[in-house]
Amino acid sequence: MKQYIKHNPWKIIEEGLLPEYNKVSESIFSLGNGKIGQRGNFEEYYSGETLRGNYISGVYYPDKTRVGWWKNGYPEYFAKVLNAPDWTGIKISIDGEKLDLHTCKITDFKRVLNMKKGYFRKRYLAEFPDGKKIKIKSKRFLSIVNDELGVIKYSVEPVNFEGKIEVLSDINADIINQDSNYDEKFWVEIEKSTTVKPYVISETKKTFFRVCTAMDVIAEFDGKEIPLSNLKKVEKEKYVGIKFTLPIKKGKTTRLFKFASITSSMNYDINNLAKEAYDVLEYANDKGYEALLYEQEEAWKKKWEESDIVIKGDISAQQGIRFNIFQLNQTYTGQDERLNIGPKGFTGEKYGGSTYWDTEAYLLPFYLSTADEKVAKQLLKYRYNHLDKAIENGEKLGFNTGAALYPMVTMNGEECHNEWEITFEEIHRNGAIAFAIFDYVNYTGNKTYIAQYGLEVLIGISKFWAQRINFSEEKQKYVMLGVTGPNEYENNVNNNWYTNTIACKTMEYTAKSIEYVKQNHPKEFKKIIQKTKFNTDTELTNWKKIYNNMYFPYDEKRKVFLQQDGFLDKELKPVSTLSHLERPIHQHWSWDRILLSCYIKQADVLQGLYFFEDDYDIETIRRNFDFYEPLTVHESSLSSCVHSILAAKIGDKKRAYDFYLNAARLDLDDYNNDTEDGLHVTSMGGTWMTIVKGFGGMRIKNNKLSFAPFIPEQWQSYSFKIRFRGSLLNIEVSKKSIQIENESNKNVEIILFDKNQKIKGKEVFEMLF
């Protein structure tokens, strides 16, 4: 665990340049706007260890799968969101000496991510080998007002000399993904220009996405715009730059303003990319830097007004939750139904930037409660649009008649995960996609979605479950064999309790949805039945047989659900018996040793109890929590949030808080020594849930918001905002009271500690403890 980030309620601050942590910081100081993103790399030369990263959502490459033993149905490629052309370069030289932050003497270094206003800035004093010293300041942001625009303000001030500096401003499309399976570069050059506003048009191999990256540079000296002197054009393959000199003088500041535009064939005709990029640059020039920054700050102010969580009395916790919310808001905006959210967002290459089941299980609730309803709906429509591909995936594995197996990893609906135990066995992901439909309808009350989109998906998934399950003559029960549950430290197990449970819940919910659409949307019902070739008599009867007679492993002695058949054959040694030198175990143990052990990577049985808590009494949840949590190593970023929510549910306030803090500061403190690969963006939705669903006790009951809050003893108070069916509520919990302010004009009925309360528009309800 690293604790070099300074605690601050609105800012992420690093003081002193720490080369050994640079890649971690590059992840932490990442920026994004829903369409483009980048790691917190330096603009300058840096010869130290770094992972340069710029990303464009939806632009990917199908990197050929690298395996030693090919199996039928195996994905042909692993999709990767590509490291895109790097436009951030502002490289300084003085008398032929490069300003390299790794080789120059750097003091007074500070970098700051201002989460309130949406920008990244840094400052430092650099000393060259000949003794010359300069002060550098920079500020960078990716506009969330114009999501094809990036902006840098870069300032230079000499300390003990004056003269001229040489500047190289560039665009580098000759980049590589660190995770390339065959060390292949994925971009080819189509066109470039070194006019006054240089650009590079590059194209991805195989997928043929085209991207134009263009730039414009303006210089100021002592507050006045000046021309770029001794301008030289630099061209190489997939690279353009302009070199020029600028005056510097003691006591005076020389500034550069760099505007960059990124346009792609996802949104424009390939013949118009340069024109569209120039239009963005013209927009930036017309606005000017200060107006662009003001727009950015105002746009972020609006986002925070709808999604902020305020914690008083605990700066570490406050910084943690705001960092999580900031990353969620800059990763996904819901503007494009073709886009989704990768586990690393715009912060790194690991997991390929592709979509996992994390979106449905951990991210959807955040966007449901903090953004317009259409934002969450876009996430669901993403899966609806991929239904045909999910059916194709099922066919590849031998399933038929419309059985849909959604991919574990995808960019376009095709499965592209390259580990067999995940691709073929971790099929519980299908259940999370079905649960998301239930979650969305339950929260919004928009049942029309079922008839428009949801039912087709539910039928496809339920068809898959019905074919994947078989009847055991020995048990006289239905069983599911050869699966991997959420706990990926177990593979190829029989009757994973969570998978069996969510399969049955899906079929049951689908049956109810069929009846609803049949009764309320008969025209749509007829079309869906014809399209899916669904037999309402035989298939519904079969589903009912399955979910009424499914086998669920259970230990009568402990009265707990068993993670899978044979789990009790393991040596049940709690995690507390492990040496810290063995943690995390996936970095220190062989895979064989992990599979033989009882240790659990993340919530498995507990994931099911979290999803379906209304079906189990509090003592059942408590027994299972107390049995499984001591065996859980929490080596998935998705683990702590579920455990925090369940700990809150059973009244274990201390563990609920401890799990929250682990989730909230997972990346800021680099708990698992892997933040350098990128942030755990999808788990950040889970962090939000620990406060709202855990401490706040928020649920939907009888079509109303329900709350049962408590306050961690470390806090003086906390508050969070919730959007619900046209209303906006601010819930504040202190040691003495609960205040719920209805910030909308619409009257709203809520449930507080199981009692109905009505709050009129623009009024505040208070309950004293």
Q: How far is 561 from 618, CA to CA, in rounded Å?
A: 14
Q: At what angle do helices 455-468 and 538-548 cross, to 10 degrees?
A: 60
In the set 360, 426, 488, 629, the catalytic residue is: 488
Q: Residue holding tokens 């064939």?
A: 265
Instruction: Return the closest-CA partner of residue 92 out of 281, 282, 258, 289.
Output: 258
Given a contact cutoff of 8 angstroms between Cβ atoms, the answer to whether 158 and 173 are in contact is: no
| Residue ranges of E strands in 180-209 | 187-193, 199-204
107's enclosing H/E stretch is strand 105-114
Helix (H, G, I), strand (E, B) or coil at 671: coil
The residue behind tokens 């803090």 is 661
Q: Give the C-alpha distances (Å, rounded to integers) separating 490 from 409, 592, 594, 629.
A: 19, 10, 8, 16
Rounded-to-integer distance, Cα 18 and Cα 13, Å: 13
Distance in angstroms (rounded) separating the CA atoms of residues 193 and 208? 20
Q: Is the dihedral of CA 28, 30, 31, 33 positive or negative?
A: negative
The first and second tokens of residue 154, run together, are 């870069």
Residue 488 appears among annotated catalytic residues: yes
The separation between the first and the last C-alpha atoms of the chain, rounded to the nearest angstrom, is 38
Integer Cα distance of 284 and 753 in angstroms: 52
HSE at residue 315, side-chain half, CA atoms within 13 A, is 8
Other beta carbons within 10 Å of 465: 28
| CA–CA dist 760, 639 (Å, integer) | 38
* Beta carbons within 8 Å of 609's beta carbon, 6+ residues apart: 616, 620, 621, 624, 625, 646
Cβ count within 10 A of residue 119: 20
The answer to whether the CB of 386 falls within 8 A of the CB of 412 is yes
Beta strands (DSSP E) in 159-273 are 163-172, 187-193, 199-204, 210-221, 224-226, 229-236, 239-248, 254-264
The catalytic residues are 488
